[in-house]
Each structure stands twice: as C-alpha cells, then as structure tokens.
Amino acid sequence: PWTKGIVQDFYGYITNPVKYILNGFLDFLPNLFFIIIIYYLAKYVVRVLSKIEQEYENDNITIKGFHKDWAKPTLNIIKVIVYAFALIFMFPYLPGSNSPAFKGVSLFLGVLFSLGSTSAIANLVAGIVITYMRPFMVGDRVKIGETMGDVIEKTTLVTKIRTLKNEEVTIPNATIINAHLWNYSKTTKDLGLILHTSVTIGYDVKWETVNKLLLKAARRTTLVQKDPKPFVLQKSLDDFYVNYEINVYTKQAKKMPLIYSELHKNILEDFIAANIEILSPHYNAMRDGNEVAIPGQTTMDNRNPVEKVIDKVSGKPPAQP
C-alpha cells in the first residue's frame, strides 16, 4: 500500500500527456475540418483555372487582346494569389496560432524574407512586367546592353541568351528593364530588317559610280530582299572623302554576321574590279594647289608638285600624257 501513491504518480506521468494530446486533437478536429475544406476548395479553383489555361493555349477559347503566351504566367500569378488567400484563411485554425511563440516566429520569418529577397522581388516584378510588355520572345535575336544573341529561356527572374560565339549569358530581369533593348527579329515578319554598312570614297570619284557599285554588291549578296530594293545614302561630306551608306533588307535576322560578311566581300570585289580605292583613313598627300578634285576635271599630270612649280616658273610646257 505504501507504494500505491508512487505507482499512481508514475501512471499519471504517462497518461496525462496522452490525455492532453487526445483532448487537444479532439478539440482540433473542427478546425481541421475547416482547413481541409479550404485546401480542397483552393485546389479545385486552381484545377478549374488550369483547365481554362489549357483550352486557351489550344485555341478553344479566345479573348481579344489577350495573347496566348500570357496564359501560363497569368495562371501562375493567380495560383500564388489563391494559395496565399488559402493560407490566410487557414492561419486562425492552426493549433497554437494565437500563442506568442507562433507570432514571434512568424514575425521573424517575415522580416527575414523582406530583408533577404529585395533583389529577388525586383527581378520577379521585372519579369512580370517583361511578360506583359512582350519586348521579345524565346528564339528572337536581341541585343541587351552590350550582349547580343538569341533568347533561349525566359523566366520570371532571369533571361538567358546564347551569344553569337555560343556563350550562354544569364541576365537578371531587373537589368533588362533598366537597359536599352534591340529586337532584330520582330520586324523581319513584316517588311524586314535593314542592315547597313558604310564606305568612304574620295571626292575625285563620281557619286553615281559609287552608288552603282554599292547597289551591284548588294544585289549579289544572298539572303538580301529583292523587294524592297537596296538603297544608298550619302551620309556626310567630310574633309577628305564622302561617306556612303548601303542599306539592304533581310528577313534572316539570325544570319546577320554572314550577310554582313558577304556584303563586305562583294563591295571589296566590285570596287577592286573598278580600280577605285576605298580610302577610309585620313591621309596626307602633296598636290598642286591649282589642281581640283572635281570628277571629270582632274588632269593626268602625275609629276611631283615641286617639279610642276619649277616648270611653271621656267616656262617649260607640261608633259603630254
């Protein structure tokens, strides 16, 4: 009998926690019921939205002004919103949600997330903005800042580009929002992309001749559109030469380096065949001050300028060509 109290205390240490847990579980059953209802309701809403998204991508549903590539990211955004509201509704039904410890942990995690995810949130927001702005699509040839290449992947946080040298570059979406962006593929579906290059020719060559040679080189270049036709612009009249620019249309934006290379090769061949020098750099030359550089009015006297002056003073007639 003298050990009866010890045994009862021992059983109490075992049974009391079990009873507490069972009673707590029984008290939690109504809350668990509400949590299950909220979970399956959110899951059902997401399933319905996913079905609508699939039908929209299969062109069974159309909304004017709503692009097909918006369907997937819009579904993901709505999913996040639905699950966020589901968690908010579930929170009061969680066991211990009103305890100071639970509130303290929640506050700590919230502050930690806010301080540690500033750049991630900036990239996320920028990714959403880029999605709905549609400045480029996967597969487009673009130039972002100093990086040029083809877009191989576009996510909500980063954009991946494969450069012309087969390098894979990852660019944060926040950087894209704050940088200049060139899309070379967007206009190729309609009129075409204009590629251009310049040559500088001296004033002693007629501009008609230069234009003719540049257009000939452009027409011989493959992957260049015949219509619209290539055209030449006289860009500037510099001190030593005229700056000519040849412009061609193409719908092969991804082959720009090859087109430029062939165009430059054809220009070199045609100008060499016509015995015309492409004098791009500045150069110094001694010439007769009375000589003109107007096409058709130059003489064939190739004597040294000093000899010309001596002959003029001595009265010696110029040599006949």
266: confidence class by pLDDT, cuts 50, 70, 90: very high
Better-scored residue on pLDDT, 244 or 73: 244
Cα distances (Å, whole numbers) of residue 34 to 26, 43, 45, 102, 128:
14, 14, 17, 20, 34
pLDDT in tens, 13-24: 677 777 777 776
277: confidence class by pLDDT, cuts 50, 70, 90: confident
300: confidence class by pLDDT, cuts 50, 70, 90: low
Residue 291 reports pLDDT greater than 80 = no
Average pLDDT of the residues of the chain: 83
What percent of the chain has a predicted confidence (pLDDT) above 70?
78
Q: According to the model, what pLDDT value does residue 288 have? A: 55
Which of the following CATH numbers is that of domain 188-273: 3.40.50.800, 3.30.565.10, 3.30.70.100, 3.40.50.620? 3.30.70.100
The verdict on pTM exceeding 0.85 is no
pLDDT in tens, 26-61: 776 788 888 899 999 999 999 999 998 888 888 788
Token code pair at residue 283: 């150069």
Q: According to the model, what pLDDT value does residue 144 have? A: 93
Q: According to the model, what pLDDT value does residue 303 have? A: 62
Better-scored residue on pLDDT, 2 or 251: 251
Q: According to the model, what pLDDT value does residue 65 have? A: 80
Is residue 198 within 8 A of residue 243, CB to CB? The reply is yes
Q: What is d(CA 24, CA 117) in angstroms, rounded to the nearest whole number?
A: 37
Is residue 16 packed enough to be buried (19+ CB in 10 Å), middle (13-18) or exposed (0-12)? exposed
pLDDT in tens, 100-118: 776 777 777 777 667 666 7
Please provide residue 7's backbone torsions phi and psi, each rounded to the nearest 5 degrees.
-65, -40
What residue spans define the domains of the chain? 4-116, 135-184, 188-273
pLDDT in tens, 216-263: 999 999 999 998 999 999 999 988 889 999 999 999 989 999 999 999
**Average pLDDT of 59-65?**
80
Q: According to the model, what pLDDT value does residue 5 have? A: 65
Q: Residue ranges of the alpha helices (H) in 221-304?
A: 256-273
Is residue 46 packed enough to be buried (19+ CB in 10 Å), middle (13-18) or exposed (0-12)? middle
Q: What's 135-184's CATH class?
A: mainly beta
